[in-house]
Structure 1
C-alpha cells in the first residue's frame, strides 16, 4: 500500500501534478487537471445556499470531481441509481438542487476552470464523521429507501479493500461495467482507485464488445463487473488478447451463478472475486471460486460475523452504528467463514398459507425446464403469485409446439409438489432474460412490470452488438385496442412507438430523456392477432434508437427516436 493516500487527505497531501488519475477515450487526466475540475465544482457548491444535492453523471471523472468538491464544501450528496423523470420527481421534495445529467430545468453548473486556475483552494482534511452521502436501495420490493452514510464508513471500507486486494491488483487500469451511482461501483470504480493511486476509466462498458476491446487495449487492467455481464459473455468475441492483461475481475450486486464460472475462467483467465454485502452493511465477505463446488465466503478485514438460528449478523466499521446488524440472510458456518443459504425474508402469505418464493424458484430451476426464474407477488383485488422465467430449449420447444398453456401446466405440476394448489402461481411470463439493473440485481418491481397488460409477449430472435430483433404477439387483449376502433380495431401509431421505447429500454442503456423523433413512417395498420417483428438498433454516440415493425404482410412502421440528457 505504498501508493495509498487516505481519501480524507487526498487533496491536502496531494499527488504529483502529472500523476495519472483517470483516462477518458485513452487520454490521461492528470492530478493537476483533476484538482482544477474539483475546484471549479467547489466554487459552485460554496456559492449555492443549499445543503442537499442530488448528483448524477454518466462520466466517472466529472462525477468524482463533483463528489469530492461537494464533500469539501460541506455538502451532502444524494446518489440515485438513475436519472429518469420519475426518480427526479421523487428526489425533488428531498434535495435543494440537482447536479449533473438530470432532465430537469435547472442544474448546478461548475464554475469556469479558467477562472479558478490561479486561485486553488487550501484544502482541509475531510471530517470523517460527516454524514455526507445518501444512497438508495430498493431491496426486493422496488420502492427506493434512503440510506445515509458517514464518510468514515466509505473510507474504512476503501482501506479494507486496499489492504486485502492491492497486492493482487497492482498497477492496473480500472475498467467497469457497473455504474458509480450505486455503492458497489462508487467504492470499486471511484473511491478505491483514487486512494490507491490507480487510474479509472471515465466511461462505463455497457456491452460485451466494449469489454473485450477495453481488455485488449490495456496492458494491465481490473474489471469491476456484475453477474448481469459475467453470465452473458459471448465466446465469439476476441477475448484471447485481453485475457492475459486481466489482473483481477470483481463481481457484486447479486449472486453469480456457478454455471457462469467456466466461461469466466476460459474467456477472462480467472474466476471473479465475488463481494457479498449490501447498501446498508457495506462489504461483508468475499470469495473466489477457482474450483467448482466451492461455496465458502470469508469476511473482509475488520468484519466480524455471528450466526444465530441460521441468521447472519455482522459488526464492522462499514455500519452506521457500533453494534451488531442482523441481515435477512440464512447461513451455515464453515471452517473459515460461512455459506449462504438464501434469504429468510422471501416468505409470503397467500390464502393464509406461508410460501417460500425462493423454494419455488429453486424447484423450477432444478426441473430442467427453466434456466432462471423469479416468483413475485402481483397486487390487486386478490394477491396472486406470478412467475417470470427463462425457459430451457426443451421448454421453448414445448411452448412452440403446444402453446404457452401447455408449458404453464407442465410447470404448475412441478410446483404442485411444493405448495397446495390454492397458492400455485396464476400468472406466467416467459422472457429471454430476467430484467436486471446495472448492478445485476433483479428487482420485484421490474418483474411486476413484465405483467403490465400493455406489454405484449415477446421472444428474442436475434441479438448482436447494438442490433436486436424481437417477435411480438399483438394479441386482441392489449388495452391499446380499446376504442381504437370498435368495428375494426388497429394498433395506434403512438402505441407502436411506445413499444419500441419499452423494449429499447429493456435491451439498451438508453439515456434518460426523450428528445424527439425523426423520419417516422406508418405504412400498414396492425390488427389484433398479428405477430410482428420489431427490429431495434441503438447508436450510443448519437443517442439514437432506430426501429422497424414488420410482419408477413410487409412493413408496418419505422423511424428514429432520439434520447439524451437535457441541459
Structure 2
C-alpha cells in the first residue's frame, strides 16, 4: 500500500530541511548559522551562505534520498534557492515515484553508506509500532526526520496512529526541561539516549500517561530508572540499524529484546537474522552485534562485531580517532576509549607526546585545533590526558585510566 507520506507538506518540508541541515553540518563540521525549524522562504544562498559547490552536494543528497532520478526532476534543485521551492520539487518528484527511499549511515568512519529501502518494508515496522503506541495524541520528536529512526517514528508512525502532521512537535529547538511543562497526557516522545539522559537530570516530574521511545544506542540502566521515577509511563527501546530499520524492541533493561513480526532468528546461522519481505521473500541480515537467543523470538545483545561505540546516537570508531590523533607531529602514541558511564558519554584520549615536543599546555592547545579540524563532533574526545606511556594492566594488556588523576587536561 502506498502511504503518500509526503502529502502533508509540513512533513515533507521537515524532511527536506533536516536533510539540508544534516549535510551542511557534515560539510562544515559545525553548527549552522540559522537554527531550525526553518521557514518556507529561508534561502540557501543568502540565509545559509551555501556556495555553488555546496549546492551541488545538497541537491545530490536530496535526489539520492528521495530517488528523484526516477522522475527526472532532480536538476530543478540547482535552479531554486529556498526551502519551500525545494519542497515543491521534492513533492513533484514523489508524485511520480515514491516507492523507495535511501537513508545514510552516520559516516563516522569517513564513508557514509547509502541504505535504500522500499517504503513497503518500512511500513512493516510502523504497523507493529502502532500496536505498541496506540492512543497517542501527539508525537514529540527529538531526532531528524531524514534519518531512518526519525523517519519511521516521526513521519510514518504518526500517519499510522492518525496523528496530524501539525501534531508532530520538534523538540530540538527546546531544552529537555521543556517536557515538564510542554508535554501532555497521551504524548509519545521520540528521542535518543543523550536526550533521555538530559531529561532524567532536568525533569523531576513528567505529566501522566506520557510514553517514550529510545533508539540508536543502548540506554543506561540508571537513566531508565530515573525516568520511571519521574513519571514516564513506559519507555520502549528499539534495536535496529540504518540498513534494516527496527529489528526488535523491549520495555525494560530486565527484558530481552523481542523481534518484530517480520524478523526471525536464523536457526542455521547464529550470526544471522532473516527478514520476511512484503512479497514473502526471505532476506538474510548479519547484525553488527552478537545476539544471544532467548527462546525462538527473543535475544539479548552481546558485543559489537565492528568495535564501534555510540556517541549521541552515532556510530563512532575509536580506532579511526586514534589513527587521526597519531598523525599529529607531536604525538607518539594514543589510546581512545568511550568514557565510563559515571564519566560522561563522549570519547576520551590518553596521549603519549613525542620526545622533544612543546610544553604540555602548548601541545594540548594544538591538539584541540587538530581535533576540531580533522574529526566530526561525535568523534572528538572531550577529555585529553597526557602521560609518558599508555596505561596497561598487570598482564600488560591495555587498561582504563581515571579522568581525575593527575595530568588530566579537559578538552574545550
The TM-score, its normalising length taken from structure 1, stands at 0.46
Q: Could you tell me how far apart the structure 1 residues matched to 2:178 and 2:109 are?
A: 32
Task: Indicate if the aligned counterparts of 2:80 and 2:86 stay in contact, CA closer than 8 A.
Answer: no
**1:470-489 equivalent positions in 2, closer than 5 A:** none
Q: CA deviation at 1:222?
A: 0.9
Could you say what secondary structure the match of 2:262 adopts?
A: coil
Distance 1:407 1:236, change over 3 A: same
Are residue 86 (structure 1) and residue 51 (structure 2) matched? no
2:336 — aligned with what? Answer: 387
Give the aligned CA root-mean-square deviation in angstroms. Answer: 4.8
Counterpart-to-counterpart distance in 1, 2:276 and 2:283: 8
Deviation for aligned residue 1:233: 2.5
CA contact (8 A) 2:215 2:237 kept: yes
Q: Aligned residue for 1:554?
A: none
Shift of 1:149: 1.8
Which one has the largest radius of gyration? 1
d(CA) in 2 for partners of 1:280 and 1:192? 19
Cα distance in 2 for partners of 1:229, 1:212 equals 14
1:252-290 residue CA offsets vs partner (Å, 9 max, x unmatched): 01111112121111114345100001110111100011x
Given the alignment, which residue of 342, 360, 372 partners 2:303?
A: 342
Secondary structure in structure 1 of the residue aligned to 2:81: coil
Name the stretch that deviates more: 270-279 or 196-205. 196-205
Residues 311 and 111 of structure 1, relative CA distance in 2, 3 Å threshold: closer
- Distance apart, 1:389 and its partner CA: 5.1
- 2:13–2:84 contact (8 Å) kept in structure 1: no
Deviation (angstroms), 1:84 = 2.7
1:197: Cα distance to partner? Answer: 0.5
Alignment of 1:170-209 (within 5 A): 170-199=135-164, 200-206=167-173, 207-209=175-177
SS at match of 1:280: coil
For residues 209 and 410 of structure 1, do their structure 2 counterparts lie closer, same or farther at Cα, with a shift above 3 Å needed? Answer: farther
Contact 2:275/2:284 (CA < 8 Å) preserved in 1?
yes
Comparing both structures, which one devotes a greater share of its residues to strand?
1
Equivalence for 2:319: 376
Counterpart in the other structure of 1:145: 113
Q: Residue 229 in 1 paired to residue 226 in 2?
A: no
Asked if the contact 1:153/1:320 (under 8 Å) is kept, the reply is no
Q: For structure 2, which runs of at least 5 residues remain unmatched after alignment?
A: 29-53, 64-73, 311-315, 328-332, 344-360, 365-382
Contact 1:286 1:298 in 2 (8 A): yes
Name the CA distance, whole Å, in 2 between partners of 1:149 and 1:232.
32
1:82–1:181 CA contact under 8 A, matched in 2: no
Residue in structure 1 matched with residue 290 of structure 2 by the alignment: 330
1:326-361 deviations in whole A, cap 9, x for unaligned? Answer: 122211111341111021122xxxxxxxxxx88xx9
The reply on whether 1:63 has 2:14 as its aligned counterpart is: yes
Point out the structure with the larger helix share: 2
Distance 1:226 1:219, change over 3 A: same
- Deviation sequence 1:444-487 (CA, Å, 0-9, x none): xxxxxxxxxxxx9546xxxxxxxxxxxx5xxxxxxxxxxxxxxx
Give the TM-score normalised by structure 2. Answer: 0.61
SS of the equivalent of 1:285 reads strand
* Matched residues, number: 316
Question: Which secondary structure state, in structure 1, belongs to the residue aligned with residue 155 of structure 2?
Answer: helix
Shift of 1:136: 0.7
Distance 1:93 1:178, change over 3 A: closer
